[in-house]
Structure 1
Amino acid sequence: MTSSSVRDAREALGARLRELRKDAGLSGVQLAELTGWHSSKISKIESGKQAPSEADIRIWCRHCKAKPQVPDLIATLRNVEAAYVEWKRIAGIRRKQQQLHGLEAETRLTRWFEPVIMPGLLQTKEYMRAMLGKVSAFYSHDEPVDEGIAARIERQQVLRHGNHRFNFVLAEQVLYTTVGSDDIMIGQLDHLLSVMRLPNVVVSVIPTMSDYQVPTTNFVIFDRRVAHVETISAELTITQPRELVLYEQVFQTLLGQAVIGEAARVLIGQAMGRRQPRSASGGT
């Protein structure tokens, strides 16, 4: 996926919408008056410079007497959006870190659930290097891993500066997923215990034997404005209020299953102990 192919897809969608407008006998100015939009929005959508929303497509088709075209156009839009997100992912780790840095700096309350790996804001440099090395190799990124690490470390400043609160819910598996080596994991878990002392950070852990309650995937909720969900091929950005409510409900359910405070520290300590050499833990 390249930026040019994403642009071509947007332009093709815009061309289809332009044909619908012309078939309805409307000029761009006339359609703008009917929709209440600025005429420049019509021009940008038709030229592919601006992607319409799903609501925009419904309004466009209603005024152009083309309602039967709505499902197909929305499906096309979703494909374009997925392609754009995929291109942003492939464009590089550093770009993504910089985008997240801005979003996190604007957020008062960040709620983060992770089922397998440590959240980026809680990772040590060694953990990052081991993980990002694997990610870069998988996606064939050409940029140096050090650039992604530096950008992620810069992001972590938000934990200690500004009026921000963080609520991390981790599945116990996160403590046992080996990223790099036992030494790296011991350092990572020790760092986690340290971060838990920050007054604006809450870390809770869902024990492995907990009951299944709700469908889950990793996700982050930024205030009540947006949620990010990572998949293998793309990152989803959720902004629809009804969808955000679902993620909030899932987070509250998971939080209710998690242990906090000393009970969470005990689970982290046990995970660290499992990685200690036998001679260090009294074994023979």
Structure 2
Amino acid sequence: MTRSIPWQQRLSTGTEDIQNEVIGWYQRTRHGKAYVPHMIWGTLQTEAYATVILRRVVDFLGVPDDVAAGVAKRMERQQVLYDGEHRYDVVLGEQALYTNVGGGQVMREQLERLLREIDLPSLELGILPATADFGIVPMPGFNMREDRVDYELVSCGVDITDAGELALHHKAFDALGGAAHYGDSARSLIGKALAFWSND
């Protein structure tokens, strides 16, 4: 089954409620996967980076302004990285390291955090080089839980639960992950981006 819900409906009370809902998803998901081509995965965002993102969401969609409360919830959700009970496989597109979210200082702090967190036992973080040939057509980012795939589109969030579609998403994630760089190679790509923002 595929279900879409307009963002204005999901965010009708602001950003805090949906972030609280996401906390529940993450707490229930023992092994999650995420492909994020153009920005930093929410569960690794710094407070400053998340503030810029949620401010843009509120301004663009015209929903109630509770950015500070939404950011606090997003920071709370990150505890799953440290509780020893969860695991996340994450592939960031190299472009995510360069998409300007808040300017040089915000980006430097964000990339420094990636370098600090890359060795977390709960995290397998890969960087998909911009020139990688990963054998499938380019696609928007998605998050996977055991029983669903979630997309965040411009106008709505889309949830997919059909078993056949989930299997295709696992296959796609394997292709993306197979072309991504990990460990020292990923650190090198992050370090190159950090040098770029340090010269900004």
TM-score grouping bracket, smaller chain normalisation: over 0.9
TM-score, normalising length from structure 1? 0.67
TM-score, normalising length from structure 2? 0.93
Q: Which runs of 5 or more structure 2 residues have no equivalent in the other structure?
A: none
Structure 1 segment 78-227 matched on structure 2, within 5 A:
82-83=4-5, 87-211=9-133, 213-215=135-137, 216-223=139-146, 225-227=147-149
Distance 1:110 1:82 in 2: 21
Distance 1:151 1:131 in 2: 14
How many residues align? The count is: 199
Q: What's the offset of the Cα at 1:85?
A: 6.4
Q: What's the offset of the Cα at 1:162?
A: 4.2
Q: What's the offset of the Cα at 1:143?
A: 2.5
Distance 1:84 1:274 in 2: 37
CA radius of gyration, larger in: 1
Structure ranking higher in strand proportion: 2
Pick closer, same or farther for the CA change 1:230–1:83 going to 2, 3 Å: closer
Once the two structures are aligned, what percentage of the paired residues are identical? 32
For residue 262 of structure 1, give the secondary structure of its aligned residue in structure 2: helix
Distance 2:198 2:69 in 1: 31
Distance 1:205 1:165 in 2: 17
Q: Is 1:254 aligned to 2:165, yes or no?
A: no
Q: Deviating runs (4+, > 6 A) in structure 1?
A: none
Q: What's the offset of the Cα at 1:136?
A: 0.8
Distance 2:175 2:148 in 1: 19
Task: Give the corresponding residue for 1:28.
Answer: none
Q: What's the offset of the Cα at 1:222?
A: 0.8
Q: Which runs of 5 or more structure 1 residues have no equivalent in the other structure?
A: 1-53, 55-77, 279-284
- Residue-by-residue CA offset, 1:103-151 (whole Å, 9 max, x unaligned): 1101111100001010100000010111111111001122321011011
Structure ranking higher in helix proportion: 1
Residue range with higher mean Cα deviation, 137-146 or 89-98: 89-98
**Contact 2:8-2:63 at 8 Å conserved across structures:** no
Q: What's the offset of the Cα at 1:84?
A: 6.3
Distance 2:134 2:124 in 1: 23
- Residue-by-residue CA offset, 1:220-266 (whole Å, 9 max, x unaligned): 1112x111111111111111101100110110000011010000000
